[in-house]
């Protein structure tokens, strides 16, 4: 049986006890599966065996490319940049069309769900170019995390000025949630238009000198570090 679920629906199916492996109900989304020997059932129906091996791709998404697997407007997508990869993958999270930088693509749904869940607070680091110089009061508000989005306070951020010029300022900002267009909305609240935005870090990963449009496979060590930070943050959230 071939069943395709969104990451959110797959997560919900597991935690709600609808998935069994070798006859045992599994509710831990981080439980590893060996496709060659484990028998997996969803709602009592067997899933197709022989799933492709997990794959992890680090891409430097350029501006003007959309973070989706298919675009109805015919725009270039992140999958167009990795045509060499034949295994179906999906982007972990989203960068808007005018944002460039680090994007992880994978077919590992459980890990992706853990990395994206706001509760687990996996850090995202950005280089942000804003118009003008930042008033000290605005910078203090940014560092203290006193900004509200969607009626809720943004979780504390770390922020530092990288370069202050006459007409613009570059900052390094780290957030622990992945709200839609979060960085741009934060600086809009401060009255500072964003002129350039690059995600340079996601958890333990960094761009590592990749130029826009370039990509590479993660090393085993990087995958291990990614799992460790996800598990560590998940355990901390459960305390």
Q: Please give the Cα distance from 190 to 39 (Å, whole number).
A: 53
Backbone angles phi, psi at 129, to 5 degrees: -105, 120
Do the beta carbons of residue 67 and residue 76 sit within 8 Å?
no
Our answer to whether residue 96 is catalytic in this structure is yes
What CA–CA distances, in Å, run from 202 to 47, 51, 141? 32, 27, 24
B/e letters for 183-195, b = 16+ CB within 10 Å, e = fewer, are: bbebbebbebebe
- Of the residues 96, 108, 150, 238, which is catalytic? 96
Closest by CA position to 111, among listed 1, 239, 233, 215: 233
Helix (H, G, I), strand (E, B) or coil at 111: helix
Looking at the annotation, which residues are catalytic? 96
């Amino acid at each position: 049986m071939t069943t395709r679920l969104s990451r959110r629906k797959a997560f919900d199916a597991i935690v709600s006890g609808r998935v069994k492996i070798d006859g045992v109900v599994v509710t831990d989304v981080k439980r590893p599966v060996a496709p060659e020997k484990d028998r997996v059932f969803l709602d009592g129906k067997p899933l197709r065996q022989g799933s492709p091996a997990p794959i992890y791709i680090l891409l430097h998404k350029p501006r003007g490319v959309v973070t989706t697997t298919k675009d109805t407007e015919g725009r270039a997508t992140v999958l167009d940049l990795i045509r060499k990869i034949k295994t179906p993958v999906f982007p972990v999270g989203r960068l808007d069309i005018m944002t460039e930088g680090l994007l992880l693509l994978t077919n590992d749904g459980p890990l992706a769900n853990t990395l994206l869940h706001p509760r687990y607070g996996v850090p995202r680091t950005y280089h942000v170019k804003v118009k003008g110089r930042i008033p000290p009061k605005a910078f203090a508000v940014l560092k203290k995390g006193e900004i509200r989005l969607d009626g809720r306070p943004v979780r504390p951020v770390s922020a530092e000025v990288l370069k202050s010029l006459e007409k613009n300022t570059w900052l390094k900002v780290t957030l622990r949630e992945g709200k839609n267009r979060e960085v741009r909305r934060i600086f809009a609240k401060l009255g500072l238009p964003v002129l350039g935005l690059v995600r340079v870090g996601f958890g333990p990963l960094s761009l590592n000198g990749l130029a826009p449009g370039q990509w590479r496979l993660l090393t085993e060590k990087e995958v291990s570090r990614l799992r460790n930070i996800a598990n560590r943050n998940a355990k901390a959230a459960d305390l």
